[in-house]
Amino acid sequence: MTTDAKGAPQTPSRRLTAAAGARRFIEQRTIAVVPEDERYGRPRDLFAVWFAANISPLTIVSGTIAPAVYGLGLWSGMAAVLVGNLIGGFLMALHAAQGPRLGVPQLIQSRGQFGSWGSLLVTVLAMFMYAGWFASNLVIAGQALHQIVPELPTSLWLILCAAAGLVIAAVGYDLIHRVGRWGTLVSAALLAVCAVQLLSTPHILERAGEHGGFTLSGFAGMAGIGVLLQLTFAPYVSDYTRYMPTDTAARRATLWFTYWGCVLGSALPMLLGVVMGLAVSDDTIRGLGAVLGSTLSAVVLVGFAAVVIHINAMNLYGTALCLVTAVQTFRHRWLPGRTVRVLLVSAPLAVGLTMALAFQKTFLASYTDFLAILQYVLVPWTAINLIDFYLIRRGEYDVGSFFAPDGGVYGRFKVPALLVYAGSFLAEIPFMHTSAFTGPAARALGGTDLAWAVGLATAAAGYRAVMKPQTTEVSEPLRPPTP
């Protein structure tokens, strides 16, 4: 057993404590492997990060899509929200358990499936995803703050909220976790205020209960949005677990704290959004005033805007990791310093801010199509990644090869994975349903969009089939953690 400078035994817990005390406030690792002696943190902290990351005005607006876009009633809308979040949350949380095992960001780990250059496909898609989420959150936060202080234009509020997110993202991992803990307390209190006020306003509940619409296409579409809202975290969920200890108990706890934090944080405000969408004829942000009153709604909207800043800091942080990953694919020894990392965060901020300014007047329609497109491109990737980790590689990867100039044992391109991804996307096309395009299968099903389910099934089955002959000598598969 090792000892410290005073001769005291250095148990694993004491070594973790010492590492935590020695780490710098501003993150230094970026996308590099986190070694064992720098692992720290408690899995239960992840509940706060993901609970706060979901409770925002944007999540409430996502719930309003059930009645506003799909024509669902109160109970069918709520059921679709719960089904989608419970399914999507588990798939997302399975990615979270990869962080403690490998100690690298999620998209670096994807080199094990697609190769060092092939994984750039997913990296580029993730960057567009981050920009879209950043812009969507900014629009909601800007509109909320403009409603409170109409003297300042929405555009100025967008810029101020974007700048605040930049500061948190530039500092990095530690500050995001700290802000997340406070954000959980604030967001939970705000959601409770909204729920209590809503439940104590009989005429609003009566108005919501009067709507009982149901269509299979609407239910499938809304459930798909619930799945998607969870899966959009999958490309970076393990970025926030890679500093965690590597023991099996920690990996299991990592999965379940992430799962319940994300599912509850998303489903609860979405359920509120379903009620709001049925009971308030105006848009959700303005409708909060009718439910809460002017003073209380102002407090809630300011609180929600603060939570949005935390969420957008995570979006910027994830985009910066994507950019570093892309550059490092070709310049293998390059890692950014503090100044360069701030510049990397600033670039996607400018793109997201431009999108927010451009689409703020047609937000709901653009946002719904944005969610649909994300389903189509993310679901095949998540299936391939999870099948590879749990069934093919069984958690055993050559981490050094992730950073090798030639891709190491994984090479620059993994053709089987790229072909399965492309084939799964093509299989989704007949089942797609957006404002611009409806596939023949979706049209035959009355507009029911099952593309995400088709993509998940074809990618999982296809990748398992083409990779089965390449299984390693590991005798026992790594099972997904169970409670």
pLDDT at 457: 94
The span from the CA of 350 to the CA of 270, in Å, is 29
CB 244 within 8 A of CB 285: no
CB 309 within 8 A of CB 165: yes
Q: What is the CATH number of domain 43-363?
A: 1.10.4160.10
pLDDT at 476: 39
CB 170 within 8 A of CB 345: yes
DSSP result, 53-114: HH-SHHHHHHHHHHHHTT---HHHHHHHHHHHHHHHHHHHHHHHTHHHHH-S-HHHHTHHHH
Residue 25, burial from CB neighbour count under 10 angstroms (0-12, 13-18, 19+): exposed
Beta bridge partners of 9: 3
CB atoms closer than 10 angstroms to residue 412: 18
The span from the CA of 299 to the CA of 404, in Å, is 51
CB 410 within 8 A of CB 111: yes
The span from the CA of 49 to the CA of 55, in Å, is 11
Structure tokens at 368: 């719904």
SS3 448: coil
CB 137 within 8 A of CB 315: yes
CB 63 within 8 A of CB 277: yes
The span from the CA of 230 to the CA of 252, in Å, is 19
Beta bridge partners of 3: 9
Measure CA 461 to chain center. Answer: 24
Helix axes 294-330, 173-199, angle to 10 degrees: 150
pLDDT means over runs of 10, the chain (483 residues)? 38 41 49 66 80 78 86 89 93 86 82 89 82 80 80 81 78 70 74 77 64 81 88 80 70 85 90 82 66 75 78 78 77 70 72 72 71 85 92 86 86 92 95 86 86 92 81 40 42
Residue 475, burial from CB neighbour count under 10 angstroms (0-12, 13-18, 19+): exposed
- Three state DSSP letters for 141-185: HHHHHHHHCCCCCHHHHHHHHHHHHHHHHHHCHHHHHHHHHHHHH
Nearest alpha-carbon partner for 161 in 177, 145, 182, 183: 145
CA atoms 118, 120, 122, 124: torsion sign: negative
150-164 b/e (C-beta count within 10 Å ≥ 16 → b): eeeebeebbbebbeb
Beta bridge partners of 438: 433
CA atoms 24, 25, 30, 36: torsion sign: positive
Question: What pTM value is reported for the model?
Answer: 0.76
Q: How far is CA 357 from CA 135, 162, 318, in A?
A: 8, 12, 22
pLDDT at 337: 67
CB 211 within 8 A of CB 354: no
The span from the CA of 365 to the CA of 345, in Å, is 28
pLDDT at 84: 93
Q: How far is CA 53 from CA 26, 174, 185, 266, 361, in A?
A: 21, 15, 12, 9, 25
Residue 367: in which H helix or E strand, if any?
helix 363-387
The span from the CA of 284 to the CA of 289, in Å, is 9
